[in-house]
């Protein structure tokens, strides 16, 4: 036997990777690792990531997708979703309220990485009189309706607000300024610019992009030339002085009116008190008159009663006297009167006088007796 053959190296054992765990297994393992890494890589909100399988749509947004550059009709809501890597791109689109701002120096965009080169550096505006002014900032609060996301992005792309908000607001501002003077734009109708811009934007959006809803527009005061601004400031100072004078005059007039009202109120109060006192005195007088009237009626009634009583007494006394006036009674009274006479008359005519008197009395008594008898006869006839 050849010794060189004995000293030869023994044959190497067969490789372990040549079996079922060879190159195909390594490729499968590498594929699993790549897929897993792609699944856990999140997609950026503002870039169309084509490497991730799992992506997130934030709250207030909807997810839209492109396959090979063509917009898909698939719309997803907030949350995690899956897509085909390297083939399908996604983009979250805001469907809640958003505010687009246009500045004089720069335009701050909510998707800066996509269109940062389209910043608006200035918003010049020429008035009707030829004065150039600049609007510092214009804010447009808008909303993209969820049901119109596909149609809007299909027609105008993700940057739809460039066409219907940023560019449109420049056009509308220039149209407005060209039809108004500086006085109107800066002072007189400045409070109407917000509504006019909102109506103009919404009119075109409703006609050509119905998914865009303009909620409000806020326009700041425009920047005007310095010399004109100083003139306006001086005018405002003079106007302020005039307003202060007017307000002072109003205060003086108000004080005078207040004093007048107070005087009128005091006079009315005095007149009212006087009327009350007068009515009170009149009432007292009326009450006194009523009391006096009652007293007068009572006195008249009392006097009437007394007169009736006196009359009745006199009548009764007269009737009694008539009943007393008999010849015998009269003769008795005559004799008593003669007897009580203390005077003594001397002369030859005294008996004649006494006799004549007795004859006179006798004739009177006879006549009285006849009258009484006649009256008694008449009463008896009446009673019969």
136: part of which helix (H) or strand (E)? none
- Which pLDDT score is estimated for 336? 76
Split at pLDDT 50, 70, 90, the class of 125 is confident
More confident residue, 163 or 356: 163
More confident residue, 323 or 275: 275
Average of pLDDT values for 111-120?
Answer: 32
> Residue 360: pLDDT above 80?
no
d(CA 264, CA 268): 6
Q: Report pLDDT digits (tens) over 147-172.
A: 888 888 888 888 888 888 888 888 88
- Which pLDDT score is estimated for 80? 86
d(CA 153, CA 20): 51
Q: Report pLDDT digits (tens) over 188-212.
A: 899 999 999 899 999 988 888 898 8
- Which pLDDT score is estimated for 57? 86
> Residue 38: pLDDT above 60?
no
- Which pLDDT score is estimated for 313? 87
Q: Above pLDDT 90, what percent of the chain?
A: 12
Give the per-residue SS3 of 314-354: HHHHHHHHHHHCCHHHHHHHHHHHHHCCCCCCCCCCHHHHH
The rounded mean pLDDT for the chain is 75
Q: Report pLDDT digits (tens) over 39-81.
A: 444 444 334 456 778 888 888 788 888 887 778 888 888 888 8
- Rounded to the nearest 10 degrees, the angle between the axes of helix 327-339 and helix 350-383 is 150
Return the closest-CA partner of residue 162 out of 202, 203, 116, 123: 116
Phi-psi category of 102—alpha, beta or left, where left has phi over 0 and alpha has psi -120 to 50? beta
């Amino acid at each position: 036997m050849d010794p060189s053959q004995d000293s030869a190296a023994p044959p190497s054992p067969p490789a372990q990777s040549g079996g079922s765990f060879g190159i195909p297994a390594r490729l499968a393992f590498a594929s699993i690792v790549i897929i897993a890494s792609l699944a856990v890589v999140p997609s950026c909100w503002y870039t169309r990531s084509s490497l991730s399988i799992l992506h997130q749509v934030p709250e207030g947004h909807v997810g839209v997708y492109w396959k090979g550059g063509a917009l898909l009709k698939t719309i997803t809501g907030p949350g995690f979703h899956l897509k085909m890597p390297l083939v399908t791109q996604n983009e979250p689109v805001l469907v809640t309220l958003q505010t687009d701002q246009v500045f004089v120096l720069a335009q701050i965009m909510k998707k800066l990485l996509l269109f940062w080169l389209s910043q608006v550096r200035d918003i010049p505006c020429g008035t009707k009189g030829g004065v150039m002014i600049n609007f510092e900032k214009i804010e447009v609060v808008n909303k993209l309706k969820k049901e119109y996301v596909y149609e809007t992005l299909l027609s105008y792309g993700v940057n739809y607000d460039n066409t219907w908000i940023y560019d449109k607001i420049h056009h509308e501002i220039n149209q407005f300024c060209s039809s108004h003077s500086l006085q109107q734009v800066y002072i007189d109708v400045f409070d109407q610019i917000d509504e006019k811009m909102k109506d103009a934007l919404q009119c075109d959006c409703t006609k050509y992009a119905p998914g865009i809803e303009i909620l409000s527009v806020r326009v700041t005061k425009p920047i005007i030339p310095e010399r004109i601004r100083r003139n306006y400031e001086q005018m405002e100072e003079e106007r302020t002085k005039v307003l202060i004078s007017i307000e002072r005059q109003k205060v003086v007039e108000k004080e005078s009116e207040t004093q007048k009202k107070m005087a009128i109120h005091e006079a009315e109060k005095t007149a009212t008190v006087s009327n009350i006192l007068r009515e009170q005195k009149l009432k007292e007088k009326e009450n006194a008159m009523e009391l006096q009237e009652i007293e007068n009626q009572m006195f008249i009634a009392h006097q009437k009663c007394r007169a009736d009583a006196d009359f009745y007494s006199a009548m009764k006394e007269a009737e009694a006297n008539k009943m007393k006036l008999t010849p015998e009674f009269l003769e008795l009274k005559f004799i008593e009167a003669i007897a009580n006479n203390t005077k003594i008359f001397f002369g030859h005519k005294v008996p004649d006088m006494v006799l004549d008197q007795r004859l006179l009395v006798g004739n009177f008594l006879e006549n009285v007796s006849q009258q009484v008898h006649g009256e008694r006869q008449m009463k008896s006839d009446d009673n019969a």
